[in-house]
Amino acid sequence: MTIKVDLTREYEALVEAYQREGLDTSLFGDRIAAIIISGDKIIGLNNVPGVEIRGEEIEKGVRAEVKIAEGVELPFPIHLCTGYLKSEGYQRVIFDINVGKNSKVRFTSHCIFPYAKDFTHEAIARIKIGEGSSVLYDDEHVHGEGVRMVGKTEVEVGRNARYTGKFTLTKHRAKELKLEMVARLGERAVLEIETKVKAVKDDCVEMKEVAYLEGAHSRANLRSTAIAFDRAKVNVINEAYGFGDYAKGHVECHEIVKGDADVQTVPLLRVKNDKAELTHEASIGRINEAQLIQLMAKGLTEDEAAELIIKGLLGEW
């Protein structure tokens, strides 16, 4: 990868942050398509056959276009690294991702704001997936104590295409997190969204996930898990709209509360086609007493037992 000379120090700092967090530094290798952003600068950009990333520095941020050609299947993920290494400020990142027909790609997106104290990050992503393609988008965040994040993702999943989106913010402070994801599904398109967030102290989290099942036989599965401790506030809104014939959607939200956390979940299901079928499942509560006691009977303290259970819920094993 070519790194702009005057920015090698920032690049190194990012790589170091990856190492500290146990993230995969091989993502910075030459064979991996990548864009590395720090603040409002593009500090690295790498294209591989079938992938064309173009970036442009805009006011307080970066806009990037990612084009995947038709019939591309990559052995490695496409690495989207967004860093901000100062403690204060504002950053805006816009991604336009276009995936051609019959391609199969993975994106690994890392947002690294390790020193943030008073920082606002705005992320906008528009993802268009061509017919028969499959996209996995894995979004992991490393946040310092004070990150205000607003994320908006729009996904269009074409005919016979599949989109799997994962968002995880569990090891760091969520502070102020507002996420919105809207997906439209074509015929036989499949959408899977999994969001895992942990909120502590006075964190405030709002997540909204919306699936429009427009195409016939389209399927969507939205799953969110939130852990809210202390005085954290979490609000999860899941909406599914069944418009296409035989469209099938399921939304699921599980929230674990501890302390004085304030948590709500609002599922909305709407059907405009009697052949469509939507379901939802929700739970809010403390950690199940029986689960705790039974682990304590093996010598774990209540906190150790809770940690084990929560790690399980967050899929961290």
Partner 1 sequence: MLCLRNVEYSQNGRRILRSINMTFRDGMSYSILGPNGAGKSTIARILMGELRPTSGQVLLDGEDVTGLSVTERAKRGISMAWQEPARYEGITVRNYLTLGGKLKIGEDGIREVLELVGLPYELYAHRFVDKSLSGGERKRVELASLLLLKPRYAILDEPDSGLDITAGKLIEVILDRFRKCGTTVILITHHEGIALKTDFAYFVCGGRIVRKGFSQEVVDYYRKTCRRCSFAEG
Minimum CB distance to partner 1 smaller for 43 or for 314: 314
Is 314 one of the binding residues for partner 1 (CB under 8 A)? yes
* Rg for the chain, CA atoms, rounded: 20
Q: Shortest distance, CB of residue 257 to partner 1, whole angstroms? A: 16
Stretch 249-288 residues interacting with partner 1 (CB under 8 A):
288
User: Closest CB to partner 1 among 5 and 317?
Assistant: 317
Binding flag, residue 296, partner 1 (CB under 8 A): yes
Q: How far is the CB of 313 from partner 1 (least distance, A)?
A: 6
Q: For partner 1, which stretch binds (CB under 8 A), given 118-126, 150-158, 227-235, 298-306?
A: 298-306
Instruction: Tell me the closest approach of the beta carbon of residue 285 to partner 1, in angstroms.
Output: 13
Minimum CB distance to partner 1 smaller for 164 or for 291: 291
Of 115, 104, 106, give the one whose Cα is nearest residue 139.
106
- Write down the least CB distance from residue 226 to partner 1, Å: 14
Tell me whether residue 275 or residue 286 sits nearer to partner 1 (CB atom).
286
Stretch that binds partner 1, among 134-142, 226-234, 244-252, 297-305 (CB under 8 A): 297-305
Least CB distance from residue 197 to partner 1, whole Å? 15
* 22 counts as binding partner 1 under rule CB under 8 A: no
Residue showing tokens 């005919």: 159
Least distance in Å: CB of 234 to partner 1? 18
Distances (CA, A) of 306 to 23, 157, 198, 229: 25, 38, 14, 12
Give me the residues that bind partner 1 (CB under 8 A), please: 288, 290-291, 293-302, 304, 307-309, 311-317
